Amino acid sequence: MKKFARFFLVGAVIIIFLSANASLAALEPDSVKSVWAKLAKTAGIDPSAPIAVVDQKEPNAWVSFSLNKYSITVTKGMLELLDSEDELAGVLAHEIGHIKLNHYGRTVTRSILWGLLFRKVGSSSGIDPLDIGYALAESGFSREQEVEADDYGIELAARAGYDPWGLVRALEKMKEAGYETSPSGFNSHPPTDRRLIHVRNKAAEVSTRY
């Protein structure tokens, strides 16, 4: 009887251990489709836009926009880092914020300007001017636009039924994994610590309404 009790206890511990690890498992690519569809419908944009999950270890997600059409890309590194659809919703809702707030129109204009500037001055630097121009253009949106997208994304995620703290937890995990933005005039994103303070305050405020 004692042997049976010990066997039962060990088995229960194993089940609990496996269950705990299952909850921390990487998100599946299908999660991107379902979460995006729910957020897009809530935001009033096309939920059937093309979605790609790329084999890249860095946690990242972005929307490509051209001729009024867009596609969504999420890296495997992002899916491996996050462990809940609430966190993924926070990330994707941020990207929808860039669409809804018309950041793409302003960014395209700025990208063209960078290209023209570095075509002119790059020839004497020994560096391909197009490489510099595109690198700066690809650095993303302005810090103000990133803050706007954070705020919009937290609100959108909550309206769609997700935890408004999802983006906060996603950014915290990125920082813990070593992915953070340092204070620098060349970074388009706000410094991570300052950004976390802002999104925590926003999530707390939104939580009182949903």
At which residue do the structure tokens 């990125």 appear?
174
pLDDT values of the chain reduced to their tens digit, one per residue, 210 residues? 544 444 333 344 333 333 344 344 579 999 999 999 999 999 999 899 999 999 999 888 888 877 677 889 999 999 999 999 999 999 999 999 988 998 877 655 554 454 455 444 444 445 454 444 444 444 456 778 889 999 999 999 999 999 999 999 999 999 999 886 644 333 445 578 889 999 999 999 999 998
| pTM given for the model | 0.72
Q: Cα separation of 73 and 64, whole Å?
A: 8
Cα of 91 vs its chain's centroid, Å:
3
Instruction: Identify any residues that bridge with 65 across adjacent strands, giving them in sequence order.
Output: 70
CA 86, CA 8: separation in Å to the nearest integer? Answer: 35
